[in-house]
Amino acid sequence: MSFPWAKHYEPKFAVTKWVDERLPLPRLVYNAVGAGYPVPRNLNYFWNFGVLAGAALAVQIVTGIVLAMHYAANGGVAFDSVEHIMRDVNGGWFLRYAHANGASMFFIVVYTHIFRGLYYGSYKAPREMVWLLGVVIFLLMMATAFMGYVLPWGQMSFWGAQVITGFFSAIPIVGDTIRVWLLGGYAPDDAALNRFFSLHYLLPFVIAGVIVLHICALHIPGSNNPTGVDVKGEQDTVPFHPYYTAKDGFGLGIFLVVFAVLIFFAPNYLGHPDNYIPANPLSTPAHIVPEWYFWPFYAILRAFTSDFILPAKLWGVLAMFGSIVLLFFLPWLDSSPVRSTNFRPVYRTFFWILVADVLVLGYCGGSPAEPLYVIISQVAAAYYFAHFLVILPIVSRMERPRPLPTSITEAVLAKHGGTSPTKTAVSGSVLAAE
Amino acid sequence: MIRWISGIVGLGIVAVLAWSLLWSVVGVVTDPPAPTAEHYVRAQHPLLSAELPSEGVLGKFDLRQVQRGFQVYKEVCSACHSIRLVSFRDLKQIGYDDGQVKAIAAAWQIEQPSVNPDTGEVATRKNLPSDHFPLVFANDVAARAANNNAVPPDFSLMTKARHEGPDYVYSLVGHGYVNQPADLLAKFPDAKTPKGLYYNQYFANLNIAMPPPLKSDGQVQYLDGTKPTVDQMAKDVAAFLTWTAEPNLDTRHGAGLAALGFLLVFCFLAYGAYQNVWRNMKH
Amino acid sequence: MAKPAASVYQIATSRGDGEVQGSGRSVRHLRKDPPAEAITVDTEDKGREMATLDHAVPPGEDPAPYLEGEDDPRRRDFINIAAVAWAGVGGAIVVLPLINQMSPSADVLAQSTTEVDLSKIEAGQGVVTSFRKQPLFVRHLTPKEIEEANAVQLSELRDPQTLAERTKPGKANWLITLGVCTHLGCIPLGIHEGENRGQFGGYFCPCHGSQYDTAARIRKGPAPKNLAVPPYTFSSDTTVTVG
């Protein structure tokens, strides 16, 4: 950490001292999430979502490992093994629903986390690496989630695998060879299922490793904050523990409440009924759709309906991957020296249009490919690419931002009405003032 | 520099999309999408509610109803439809005792595949409580041959494998088989029910291969004296199939209430701790 | 505290000195920031569990109220401890299903029964079949074997049991036991014709030399207990239902 006033680790117990002298893990924890990591004092609840994403990953790994003790990855028995978990394994229904809905929670949290980054300019210098690693994590998450959904071997599992691996055949010349190599066959079958199980078990640990790098990269400059103004001195920060451990604890409580409502009262709401039908390679479902967190990308894929030099299918695949790859370039597409959109009134309008646009794309992705939805997807996809590739570079160059506060502390005091003496503190009265 | 490249790429993609958009709009204008027969019927006939006590956030099974539904399944449906993911011993969850379960299993018409202990040949044996309900047909080919070229689907997960499953089953079986309406035929002459199929207004493509299973009141004599109207039998079998798909529903709802209660208290405590930690820090 | 002039803004890409990084274009503004107010913060941790910065004087605040006297820190921290304790309880509760899922599932626990047809087993013969995925020894004892078993003094036995206790009333000639040595789990010899029965005429385990008598009771060798007798009933004179 680069803040000179950061507290230093002082082992309080003989045991921690002994360990720390031989393996500096206690001090690593202290400096990363303990009292040794200074964090801006003005973070809002949107900063909770990073920790929540880590918690969601932990939930998925624990429930996943436990489910893997009962799951059988072979075409003839996979579906039945999942039902065995649901019916006969002690608490199996809870573990399965937790894992399935946990994936949705993971994506809800990560999407909020990403949009926080977009709004507050967290991807800008000097945090570009944090952002790049984050996009890598997102790609790994998508791969993991896709493979995980194939494992129950329901109709959507099979046909989703068929469609997604079909993308590769859009690549000219080598496309189909790659597809057959990926599947280990000509259609999703035992070979594909087994390798997806192996990789689905592996990738979350790769994600965990990249998350370590992601946090390391963040802790060099320290966290961003809602004003986007750098930390100037000790008065701008508070130690991570106990201030943000307490806030994250509360955030975790809300997360678990939402999670519990899904698991116990609406466990199949975010899923698709067709996945409760065993996979049948000879019968296509009426509407093949992926899980809701892929819907915006699915809409972009299906928006390209006419050939234009390249076949439409290839355009769709390129655009779908391109919509994520362009995120890698974001720190260089946005040249505004101001981080936080709070101070960028022109860009702010476009930001909210982007949010609406992504929601519209999501809705279209989950709908049948009827002409109305296709037309809306085409307009919405056009805006998505225009936003990042055309609008953002121009607006960031030309707009006149609002004046920034000189420091975080100044912004905080301005919010609380300047130099009024402290309301000694019953928490309620502090709340009331806000 | 990067602005130029991104601008060109961006405008290029927008141009390709505009091209697709143009042709989509042309397509819609020259060949407007027409509603299908299915849409037409679905709009006029939304699913009827089975009013099952298991519906809703705090739903619980009415075990008497589920048992009646099992009786309907046994006497009407089990001739063609298996419930292969359910075990006979699971019937204890809906109120049958050990002896009854043993008797139901032993008396089950279709026997369990087995091996002749002396000759090693394929044979069958009586069902035990630990067995799953046996398949009705050895495989899909046999199923088609016996059923007008249609495979009667397994019912274990039927109410989870369809949107609004319980209501779907109830509507289809209890109120779906009507005469094909004249106005539908007038609008969509192609929707005329082919020979060998039956018109059902709740079935996905309106023409189902299964003849009406519940033909008349009194088809099943309920042991608890409930009047066995077609509507009642349809509701009861929907309740039974809701149970086969989700036998743990009651436990899940109960655990959910406890978990939510616990977590809401935790949220209050955590919020208090958060306020306490931050009490002197303006933020 | 004086606010800077409204039209002035700061480039916030580095820490405090106003330089623009990376973009290479001309810098639009370079006014130095006003010096941050120098405030000393007492961050000394008084050795309490939670570093709640009780003594911190927030910036811009009149320090007087802070130095007056303190509320009891123990009472203040109560809510923190309550929240952590409640979370701990929650954590412990969540661990339970994770451990419990490894216990045998309902289908494994479901009483699986094995029927054995006794009609073909002659006196002095035995058959091996499977019960709950383990070998089951079904032996038709001869009168001589029954006599030998009854002649043994209970005090001689490591695991005292009479033959009557190990068979059904009136059916003492049918000895039904698991074929699993109670030492470390090998399958003893002696059930098939011609196999080594050991010196007590029952079963002999080749792994470490445990020897069982005609009632399958342990007589010699390292096994601690007699061969286990599973629950069974005679569903007819010639069939037995085990389990």
Domains of chain C and any CATH numbers: 11-52 (no CATH), 111-242 (2.102.10.10)
Tell me how crowded residue C22 is: count the other CB atoms within 10 A of its CB: 13
- Under 8 Å CB-to-CB from B56, ≥6 apart: which residues? none
B281, closest residue in chain C (CA to CA): C58
CB contact under 8 A, C83 and B265: no
AA identity, residue B104: I
pLDDT of residue C110: 83
CB contact under 8 A, C110 and B273: no
**Contact yes or no for C52/C76 (Cβ under 8 A):** yes
Q: From the candidates A8, A86, A409, A430, which should be mutated to test the interface with C, based on the most C CB atoms within 10 A? A: A409
- Under 8 Å CB-to-CB from A427, ≥6 apart: which residues? B272, B275, B276, B278, B279
CA nearest to C182, candidates C212, C139, C143, C147: C212
State whether residue B265 sits within 8 Å of chain C by CB.
yes
Cα separation of A309 and B179, whole Å?
52
Q: What percent of chain C has pLDDT over 90?
A: 55
Tell me which chain C residues have a C-beta less than 8 angstroms from the C-beta of B128: 112-113
B56, closest residue in chain A (CA to CA): A265
Cα separation of C222 and C217, whole Å?
13
Taking only the tens place, the pLDDT of each residue in C35-56 is: 444 444 444 444 444 444 444 5
B272, closest residue in chain A (CA to CA): A427
pLDDT of residue A418: 60
Burial class (CB within 10 angstroms; exposed 0-12, middle 13-18, buried 19+) of A63: buried
CB contact under 8 A, A125 and C22: yes
Coil, helix or strand at residue A278: strand
Phi, psi of C136 (to 5 degrees): -120, 125
State whether residue C156 sits within 8 Å of chain A by CB.
no
State whether residue A77 sits within 8 Å of chain B by CB.
no
Question: Treating both helix axes as pointing N-terminal to C-terminal, what angle do B2-30 and A312-325 enclose, rounded to 10 degrees?
Answer: 140
Q: From the candidates A90, A94, A123, A423, which should be mutated to test the interface with C, based on the most C CB atoms within 10 A? A: A90
pLDDT for residue C118 is more than 60: yes
CB contact under 8 A, B270 and A253: yes
Neighbours of chain B (3+ CB pairs under 8 A): A, C
Tell me which chain C residues have a C-beta less than 8 angstroms from the C-beta of B129: 110-111
**Contact yes or no for C240/C138 (Cβ under 8 A):** yes
pLDDT for residue A57 is more than 50: yes
Tell me which chain B residues have a C-beta less than 8 angstroms from the C-beta of C83: 266, 269-270, 272-273
Residue C178 DSSP code: E
| Residue in C79, C87, C110 closest to B276 by CB | C79
Lowest model confidence (mean pLDDT) among A416-430, B189-203, B250-264, C173-187? A416-430
Taking only the tens place, the pLDDT of each residue in A14-35 is: 999 999 999 999 999 999 999 9
CB contact under 8 A, C112 and B262: no
Residues in chain B: 283
State whether residue A404 sits within 8 Å of chain C by CB.
yes
CB contact under 8 A, A308 and B19: yes
* Interior angle at CA A102, CA A100 and CA A104, nearest 5: 85
Lowest model confidence (mean pLDDT) among A326-340, A390-404, C59-73? C59-73
pLDDT for residue B157 is more than 70: yes
C26, closest residue in chain A (CA to CA): A337
| Residue in C58, C77, C82 closest to B280 by CB | C58
Tell me which chain A residues have a C-beta less than 8 angstroms from the C-beta of B276: 246, 427
**Contact yes or no for C153/C137 (Cβ under 8 A):** no
Mean pLDDT of C196-214: 94
CB contact under 8 A, B17 and A276: no
Cα separation of B269 and C86, whole Å?
8
CA nearest to C234, candidates C190, C173, C189: C173
pLDDT of residue C115: 82
Taking only the tens place, the pLDDT of each residue in A158-200 is: 999 999 999 999 898 999 999 999 999 999 999 999 999 999 9
Tell me which chain A residues have a C-beta less than 8 angstroms from the C-beta of B272: 427
* Interior angle at CA A317, CA A314 and CA A323, nearest 5: 135
Coil, helix or strand at residue A195: helix
State whether residue B279 sits within 8 Å of chain A by CB.
yes
Cα separation of C48 and C77, whole Å?
10
State whether residue A153 sits within 8 Å of chain B by CB.
no
**Contact yes or no for A50/A114 (Cβ under 8 A):** no
Tell me how crowded residue C220 is: count the other CB atoms within 10 A of its CB: 15
pTM (2 d.p.): 0.87
Tell me which chain A residues have a C-beta less than 8 angstroms from the C-beta of B241: none
Q: How confident is residue C9, by pLDDT bands cut at 50, 70 and 90?
A: very low
Residues within 8 A of C (CB atoms), A 226-245 only: 228-236, 238-239, 241-242
Mean pLDDT of A39-61: 97
pLDDT of residue C113: 75
**Cis before B211? omega within 30:** no
In the sheet with C211-213, reading across from the earlier edge strand, the strands are C201-204, C211-213, C218-220
pLDDT of residue A386: 97
- Under 8 Å CB-to-CB from A11, ≥6 apart: which residues? A17, A20, A26
**Cis before B153? omega within 30:** no
Tell me whether strands C211-213 and C201-204 are parallel, antiparallel or unpaired. antiparallel
Neighbours of chain C (3+ CB pairs under 8 A): A, B
pLDDT of residue B9: 95
State whether residue B14 sits within 8 Å of chain A by CB.
yes
Lowest model confidence (mean pLDDT) among B161-175, B205-219, C12-26, C139-153? C12-26
Neighbours of chain A (3+ CB pairs under 8 A): B, C
Q: Tokens 């904050």, residue?
A: A225
pLDDT for residue C67 is more than 70: no
| Residue in B20, B22, B161 closest to A304 by CB | B20
- Under 8 Å CB-to-CB from C86, ≥6 apart: which residues? B265, B266, B269
Cα separation of C191 and B221, whole Å?
54
pLDDT of residue C7: 38
Tell me how crowded residue A334 is: count the other CB atoms within 10 A of its CB: 21
Enumerate long-range contacts of C123-128, CB under 8 Å, 24 or more apart. Answer: C123/C173, C125/C193, C126/C190, C126/C191, C126/C192, C127/C191, C128/C179, C128/C191, C128/C192
State whether residue B20 sits within 8 Å of chain C by CB.
no
| Residue in C9, C41, C106 closest to A401 by CB | C9
Cα separation of A19 and A39, whole Å?
27
Tell me which chain B residues have a C-beta less than 8 angstroms from the C-beta of C93: 262
> pLDDT: is C64 or B227 the higher one?
B227
**Contact yes or no for A44/A227 (Cβ under 8 A):** no
**Contact yes or no for A159/A284 (Cβ under 8 A):** yes
For chain A, the average pLDDT equals 93
C115 - beta bridge partners? C241
pLDDT of residue A37: 94
Instruction: Judge whether C192 counts as a catalytic residue.
Output: no
Task: Tell me which residues of A are annotated as active site.
Answer: 219, 223, 247-248, 291
CB contact under 8 A, A235 and C16: no
Q: From the candidates A237, A245, A259, A385, which should be mutated to test the interface with B, based on the most B CB atoms within 10 A? A: A385
pLDDT for residue C5 is more than 80: no
Dihedral of alpha carbons C77, C80, C86, C88, sign: negative
Distance from CA of A88 to the nearest CA of C (A): 5
Cα separation of C213 and C200, whole Å?
5
State whether residue A306 sits within 8 Å of chain B by CB.
yes
* Interior angle at CA C138, CA C132 and CA C144, nearest 5: 155
pLDDT of residue A152: 98
CB contact under 8 A, C112 and B128: yes
Question: Treating both helix axes as pointing N-terminal to C-terminal, what angle do A312-325 and A371-386 enclose, rounded to 10 degrees?
Answer: 40
Cα separation of C169 and A418, whole Å?
95
Coil, helix or strand at residue B257: helix
Taking only the tens place, the pLDDT of each residue in C216-243 is: 999 999 999 999 999 999 988 899 999 8
